[in-house]
Amino acid sequence: MTWRTASVLAATAMALVSSCLSPLQAHADSAVAPKQNVITVSGKGWGHGKGMSQYGAYGAALAGLDYQEILAFYYAKTTLKTRDDSDAIRVWISSDTDNRTNVAPAVGLVLKDSAGKAYTLPRGAKYTQWRVGRSAGKRVLAFRNADGDWVSRKVALAPKKVWSFTNADSGKVTVLLPGGTKRSYRGRVAVRFDGSALRTVNHVSMRNYLRSVVPSEMPASWHIEAVKAQVVAARSYALRYEANLGGSRVYDICDTTSCQVYSGTANEYDASDKAVDATAGKVVTYDGKIALTMFSSSNGGWAADGGEPYLAAHKDPYDGIKQNSNRTWRVELTSAKIQKAYPAIGTLKNVRVTKRDGDGTWGGRVDELKVTGSKGSVTVTGAAFRSTFGLKERYFTLIGGTVDISANLTRWEDEFGGAAGVLGDFIEEVEVGSGLRARFEGGELWWSEATGSHLLSGVVLEAYLVEGSTTLGFPREDVAVGSDGGSWADFQVGRITCGAELASCVVAYG
């Protein structure tokens, strides 16, 4: 048997430092060429990653945090305050695009103007639908009869005042949207002029607004503390959006993912109603103002910088729960698809990530890429690349060829708990000799057909890399740690034994 102390290893340790960039260090990636005409995008998260991760809130609730603690984690340095939930918020029903507001007849349905005059809309077989349109800057009322014809109806309402449909009996108005969709809204449905457009705007109490928004953004069946956190984040976001508009529009917020998803009474549930009532009026504030409580489905284990003191980038230990199907994902892009998106490049040669934001695995989210081909190259933003190929996030790395689920990755998921486990996030897997080396935040898994997959970490891993894996072969067992803090591992042709520091390591052959 021959052996060497790590005094020899230490002399070459700088090679290790230069060859093993920290997963949190921002840097330009190496160019990735397609293999068999495929480049695989291996990514994390879904959405912009700023503020609260909804899966993270779920994971935090499962870990025992209450909604106040969840909000404090995702919106650091903020304070919870209480305000009145009865005030109405004006929601633009953006899917009503035909420049008319159409409603279904109902008992108790009334049309009012903003001066206080009211007209009770008659019912019966003669009236199958009511609508308010626009003519020469004035509002006009019509009904559709049993034959399908539209008939004008004159009413003693001020045509230049705001008209609204209300129903004191049911508290709801059913709007008929283009394409035949029916949607019921609480409160009143106003007909607003906005420049040359006619917009349908729902005036609804904040409580009833949240009853629809919250289960549209997060499943009502999730842990109640996560749903409560979503309620407070949604309420705060809506009020911040309203404050930013400052009354400059005929609405305070829209009803799509561009704002928050709102679909009226169709998406109300008892469980989320309880969360709304349990957090009545609670808002997140910073420096005396309502905070910008951004949220997305999953941040992939690392929250992105949101440009506010309370939206700083940070690691998220709660996002990696097993229920999170968005934590990691993969998309295969063929050379043909990339060439079609960027025809000026000619035949694809490679894609290179040239800038990252510096926060997270691989050096963070992608800020810029360079796509190179036989005729030239184009430089695009990470956001544009994401949009072009329908990716869930711009938090990704590129791999040449199709990525199979290797024995290392299977063991990482099944035995080490995946990204939420002791090894943390996956960084990359590369071929080494006749096997595979998979890097994670907390260690590495090395596999060969002869030895299987085994864990290396700490100073044993450092010594192994400095010594050179081709000389020792692949590990035959996981790294072991003794009660004295020492560690060791056996390899195909030797053993590494270490104390606490790299300089204490001994490499023995034979």
Number of H helices, E strands in the chain: 12, 35
- Residue 441 belongs to domain spanning: 2-22+425-509
Tell me the two tokens of residue 397: 């790395």
Same-domain pairing of 270 and 164: yes
Same-domain pairing of 457 and 362: no
Look at residue 486 and tell me if it is in a domain.
Answer: yes
Look at residue 221 and tell me if it is in a domain.
Answer: no
Residues in contact with 149: Cβ distance below 8 Å, sequence separation at least 6, in sequence order:
none
Distances (CA, A) of 66 to 63, 266, 297: 9, 28, 19
Q: What is the pTM of this model?
A: 0.82
Q: What three-state secondary structure class fits 274?
A: helix
CA 362, CA 360: separation in Å to the nearest integer? Answer: 6
Look at residue 386 and tell me if it is in a domain.
Answer: yes
Same-domain pairing of 448 and 345: no
CA 49, CA 383: separation in Å to the nearest integer? Answer: 12
Same-domain pairing of 270 and 123: yes
* pLDDT in 10s for each residue of the chain, 510 residues: 455 554 445 444 444 444 444 444 445 788 999 999 999 998 999 999 999 999 999 999 999 999 999 999 999 999 999 998 888 999 999 999 999 999 999 999 999 999 999 999 999 999 999 999 999 999 999 999 999 999 999 999 999 999 999 999 999 999 999 999 999 999 999 999 999 999 999 999 999 999 999 999 999 999 999 999 999 999 999 999 999 999 999 999 999 999 999 999 999 999 999 999 999 999 999 999 999 999 999 999 999 999 999 999 999 999 988 899 898 889 999 999 999 999 999 999 999 999 999 999 889 999 999 999 999 999 999 999 999 999 999 999 998 887 677 899 889 888 988 877 889 888 888 888 889 999 998 999 999 999 999 999 999 999 999 988 668 999 999 999 998 889 999 999 999 999 999 999 999 997
Look at residue 17 and tell me if it is in a domain.
Answer: yes
Question: CA 162, 163, 167, 171: dihedral to nearest 10 degrees?
Answer: -40
Look at residue 136 and tell me if it is in a domain.
Answer: yes
Looking at residue 25, what is its pLDDT? 45
Same-domain pairing of 335 and 462: no
Q: Number of structural domains, the chain?
A: 3
Q: Which of 339, 366, 400 is the last residue of a domain?
A: 400
Nearest CA to 332 among 405, 393, 412, 389?
A: 389
Looking at residue 431, what is its pLDDT? 85
The position carrying tokens 């890429």 is 369
Same-domain pairing of 166 and 201: yes
Same-domain pairing of 341 and 380: yes
Look at residue 436 and tell me if it is in a domain.
Answer: yes
Look at residue 341 and tell me if it is in a domain.
Answer: yes
- Exposure pattern of 259-288 as b/e (b: 16+ CB <10 Å)? bbbbbbeebbbeebbebbeebbebbbbbee
Looking at residue 5, what is its pLDDT? 53
Looking at residue 3, what is its pLDDT? 56
In this structure, the number of other CB atoms found within 10 A of the CB of residue 290 comes to: 22
Same-domain pairing of 102 and 10: no
Q: Are 486 and 496 in contact (CB under 8 A)?
A: no
Same-domain pairing of 364 and 435: no
Same-domain pairing of 125 and 259: yes
Same-domain pairing of 199 and 347: no
Q: Which of 385, 400, 415 is the last residue of a domain?
A: 400
CA 412, CA 453: separation in Å to the nearest integer? Answer: 10
Look at residue 313 and tell me if it is in a domain.
Answer: no
Same-domain pairing of 11 and 135: no
Let me know how long the chain is. 510
